[in-house]
Amino acid sequence: MLKKNDKRSFLMMSGFLKYLFFCMCFMLCVHIHVYAQVDNNNLESKHNFKGIEIGKVQFNLNSLIYIKNNEYFNEIADGYTLIGYYVNPSIGYEVHKKVQIKAGVFVRKEYGYNGLKEIEPTFTVQVKQKDWRFLFGNIEGNINHRMIEPLVSFERLLNQPLEHGFQAKYEKKDTFFDGWLDWQQTTIAGRTNQERIWAGVSFYSPSISIRDFKVQALTQASVLHLGGQNIQSLQPVRTLMNPALGLRLKKAFSGQSSVTMDNYYVGYFESPLQGSGYYMNTYWKNQKYQVGFSYWFGSFFNAPFGNDLMQSSSRKFNNEGYYENRRNLLIMRLVKDWSLSEKVNISLRIEPYYDFNHKLFEHSEGLYLSCKL
């Protein structure tokens, strides 16, 4: 006989599997003949040079409409729904063939709140030198850094879309470098506000071919500093560091499909605390959809901007102080992207996960419509 809690878990599991089976069948049966990405590229917002004539003005628009639902009932991460949109119209002006200025306004609206959630001016000066781009002002943040989920959560695209500071980026073929400084909060003399400075680096090396595989070295690091010299605060000075080292193996098949395996060792250092984690991913993709599995094992791990589920310290409302020494998760990722045009993209993402420590199944879903003019 099943006990009451066991029966409840069994029913939840059964219903969840039916739901998952339906979603997978839906994705496999879609026959819209459009080009589909299998990563976050279509949701990235880049300050690209558009080849406008020097001295002429061009209008730009970056917008995202989103709904993200987290069905979480665990002790680490909150369950909630984010639904809304943001829009960033701007004017671009090239003062030189290597220098671009862009100014605009950023407006964010979340449904369920009166008025606007956020409204800010935006301003970026960009200098281009061959395959390098140097940005000053509003930089290309959140998912544009291409960091792994334990270090930078995908949800920063929705709840922290703007970053301000300095950035150097390099992109050529499969090589990628992004180094940045995001100045999040400054000090005011005599006040209690600590300055918050976030710096990081994300590097994907040139690939080398070994038989039928492409191999890449992967390096990432995130540093958050909290402090200040001219304030009256009892809060301690803190510096949190999260380095990550990884290796990518990629095997291409006929029909433009491929399997990619990424494996990372991730660290956490904040004197005198330290922790670590292992993040292993396998993705299969073709032109229409992507199916991936991610395994996370974290031990005394904390990353201030990482996915809430992967942290040892609880970020759940009214659950401060709850701590799990180890987190042991298997995450499934189902992604379907539609490129309706070069400027309009839709992305459907379904991410169920299993918590081995608590024998718990939960899931999240998201739908995103991006427009870039």
pLDDT of residue 334: 92
CA distance 300 to 202: 23
Cis peptide before 121 (omega within 30 of 0): no
Residue 367 forms beta bridges with which residues?
67, 348
pLDDT of residue 54: 77
CA distance 115 to 268: 39
pLDDT of residue 50: 63
pLDDT of residue 39: 67
The residue extents of the domains of the chain are 32-372
Spatial contact of 335 and 290, defined as CB atoms under 8 Å apart: yes
DSSP H helices, the chain, are 4-29, 156-159
Buried b (16+ CB within 10 A) or exposed e, 244-273: bebebbbeeeeeeeeebebbbebbbbeeee
Longest CA span, the chain: 78
Dihedral pair phi/psi, residue 115, rounded to 5°: 75, -165
CA distance 281 to 293: 6
Spatial contact of 242 and 279, defined as CB atoms under 8 Å apart: no
10-residue mean pLDDT series, the chain (373 residues): 42 42 38 38 77 77 95 95 96 89 96 92 94 95 94 94 96 94 87 88 93 92 89 83 95 82 95 94 83 94 96 92 95 90 90 96 96 89
Smallest Cα–Cα separation from 65: which of 285, 342, 372, 334? 372
Dihedral in degrees, nearest 10, Cα atoms 284, 290, 296, 301: 130
Its CATH class, for the domain covering 32-372, is mainly beta
Specify the pTM.
0.84
Supply 18's token pair.
Answer: 């039916």
